[in-house]
Chain A
Amino acid sequence: MDELRYLKRLVDDPVPSDSVVDEARSSLRDHIDASSLQQELLSLTDHFNDDCIPLPEWSEPPVQATRNRRWLPIGAAVAAVAVLASTVVLLTDRPVPASALLDLAHAVEVLPDEMLVEVAVERQATIQSLAILPLDVDDPASGVVGAIVNGEEVRRISTDGVIQIESTAIDVEFLAKVDPEAEAELRGLIGVGADAIVTTRLPDDSGIEPNLRTEDAANLAQRLREIVARFGNPDVADSAETLQEVAELHTAYVLTTGQRAAVLKALAMVDGLRVDRTDSGVRVSAAYTTERGREHLSLEFDANGWLIRETLTLVDGVLGVTPDSVDEFDARYTPPRLAP
């Protein structure tokens, strides 16, 4: 038998239960209903002039639209409030123009390519990560506690795309009081201390779209946009998911100056990002909502276009476990240098 067909035969064949299928179908139906209503409401907003505050045309929607939706006026009123609220947010929270990104891109693309990837390079990082831990490792029902694990990391990136990560847990800060005995056990299990160095090979854990890293700089920006447009989540497609792809690109590969510039230009084309100038570069942020709640993702680039900081904040925290505005992930990277 062909080798790969043999491999396929070994793979199991999971089948969803009828209840799982029914639940999924029901969720999709609800989503379609909500989406349809949203489209109807949006079509109503077409009546409004951009320069004036919406007036209660909301309360008198077309007869056809209300025939089967008696509650539409209430929804429309709510939507009108939302429109007003979002207008206020836009006026008071307007980001710096994306020209900051283009300025940096133009400065980066004329830099010499000092780091052609002919040999392995390494990047060092200090990383703060949120961990949700069981209070008693032997008893899953014992409850959980949040902890901030501070660590250091050295990742070596070789020419064949293999990444080797050496990480060390330096310290841990528990977000709630923990029994001293349990704390000692958790510290030991987390691996706080010099003996906790773990080396991992991560060839493609980056999740980068195949071939993206080898794209010419001229195509990279377009490809990034295409990927997000085809497969992204429309709710966050043009912001968070693009930022995630960019973070993965920067931490998994050593980009040329042209590619770094292309990434910055791609970000300049994305709607919904907040751009702030920093002392030496720019910070790009996206705020969005996931099933876990509101999140805030931020990438910071230095004057050479290298990613030097990546922060993911859980705006709402985790109920009963972590406070609001806790950083799930905060990594500060050095620019790459030739590995010794």
Chain B
Amino acid sequence: MNGSAGNGFSDAEIIARSLVEPHAFGEIFNRHYRTIYRYGARRLGVEAADDIAMEVFLRAFDLRDRFDIDRSSCRPWLFGIASNVCRTESRRRYREARAVRRINVEPLLIDPSADIAWRVDAHQQVKDCGLIESINQLRDEERETLLLFALADATYSEIAETLEVPIGTVRSRLARIREKLREPLQRLRDSTEEAGP
């Protein structure tokens, strides 16, 4: 599946080539699968990550003719698809959770901050320090920015491309988020340091 496109070519060049030589798309998988897997695992759990990552690459292949080849890297585009896949899965889980209130439903399952809190160690300490409440108070565009920054390891420019906003907006959003989460994160840091290794 490697095709002849590979190292030395940009993502855009590989995707363009895959339009006439479909198996060249395998190089996109090789380059980015682990990143997308990690993002899916951090958002919805390791048990769902393989399905999410797989769905992202199947969609990406089918949608590759819509990729803007003026953009060199396809990571922001893949993050966007991954965010959509995660949201769809979240909706499905939420509907299921809504029917059953006291079993099979972790409280965080229907808590949007769970995207982050689930993946953070010392879960109880996260709850105690008020981080979840603070994340709940973020605006939706701030939360999506935080998810991409913290869970996808996306760069500022990649977040900007994914959300289709200027990079300055990303910087200002993260500055606001930083300010809003400063106190609970400081409490969390204090408590984890007290607990010791």
* Complex: A190 Cα to B99 Cα, angstroms: 8
Asked if A234 meets B62 with Cβ closer than 8 Å, knowing A3-B178, A4-B150, A11-B151, the reply is yes
- The A11-38 residues at the B interface (CB cut-off 8 A) are 11-16, 20-21, 23-25, 27-29, 31-32, 35-36
Chain A residue nearest to B54 (CB atoms) is: A24
> What residues on A are CB-neighbors of B37 within 8 Å?
14-16, 20
Contacts of A190 in B (CB 8 A): 99-103
The CA of A213 and the CA of B90, in the complex, are separated in Å by 19
Q: Which residue of B is nearest A198, CB measured?
A: B101
Residues of B179-197 at the interface with A, using a CB-CB cut-off of 8 Å, are 181-182, 185-186, 188-189
Q: Can you list, as one digit per residue, whether each of A233-261 has a CB less than 8 Å from chain B (1) or not (0)?
A: 11100000100100010000000000000
Give every chain A residue within 8 A of B188 (Cβ-Cβ). Answer: 10
Question: From B184, which residue of chain A is reached at the shortest CB distance?
Answer: A3
**Given A4-B181, A29-B23, residue A35 in contact with residue B100 (CB < 8 A):** no
**Would A202 and B110 count as touching, CB distance under 8 A?**
yes
Q: Which of A305-340 contact B (CB under 8 A)?
A: 312, 328-329
Please tell me if the beta carbons of A25 and B98 are within 8 angstroms of each other in the complex.
no
Interface contact B88-A244, CB-CB below 8 Å: yes
B1 touches A32 (CB 8 A): yes
Closest to A172 in B: B99
Q: Is the CB of B38 within 8 A of A14?
A: yes
Contact flags B160-193 to A (C-beta < 8 A → 1, else 0)? 0001000000000010011001100110110000
B17 at the interface (CB under 8 A from A): no
A6 touches B91 (CB 8 A): no
Min CB gap B196→A, angstroms: 16
Q: Do B136 and A201 have beta carbons less than 8 Å apart?
A: yes
Give Cα A211 to B169, complex, Å: 13
For chain A, the bracket of interface size reads: 35 or more
Q: Are A161 and B140 in contact (CB under 8 A)?
A: yes
Complex formed: what's the CA distance from A248 to B90 in Å? 12
Instruction: Determine the distance from Cα of A244 to Cα of B46 in the docked complex, in whole angstroms.
Output: 25
Q: How far is the CA of A196 from the CA of B188 in the complex (A)?
A: 33
B178 touches A191 (CB 8 A): no
A324 to B50, CA, bound (A): 29
Contacts of B84 in A (CB 8 A): 227, 231-232, 241
B69-122: which have CB < 8 Å to A?
A: 77, 80-81, 83-84, 87-88, 90-91, 94-96, 98-104, 110-112, 116, 119-122
Instruction: Please tell me if the beta carbons of B140 and A35 are within 8 angstroms of each other in the complex.
Output: no
Contact A230 B61 (CB under 8 A): no
Contact of A11 among B54, B145, B150 (CB under 8 A): B150
Contact surface of A with B, Cβ cutoff 8 Å: 2-4, 6-8, 10-16, 20-21, 23-25, 27-29, 31-32, 35-36, 127, 129-134, 137, 149, 151, 160-162, 167, 169, 189-191, 196, 198, 200-208, 210-211, 213, 227, 229-235, 241, 244, 248, 312, 328-329
Interface pairs (8), CB distance under 8 Å: A4-B150, A11-B151, A151-B99, A189-B102, A198-B101, A203-B140, A207-B88, A208-B140
CB-based closest 5 A-B pairs: A129-B99, A210-B141, A207-B87, A14-B41, A131-B99
A-contacting residues of B (Cβ < 8 Å)?
1, 22-23, 25-26, 29, 33-34, 37-38, 41-42, 46, 49-50, 53-55, 57-59, 61-63, 66, 77, 80-81, 83-84, 87-88, 90-91, 94-96, 98-104, 110-112, 116, 119-122, 136-141, 143-146, 149-151, 153, 163, 174, 177-178, 181-182, 185-186, 188-189
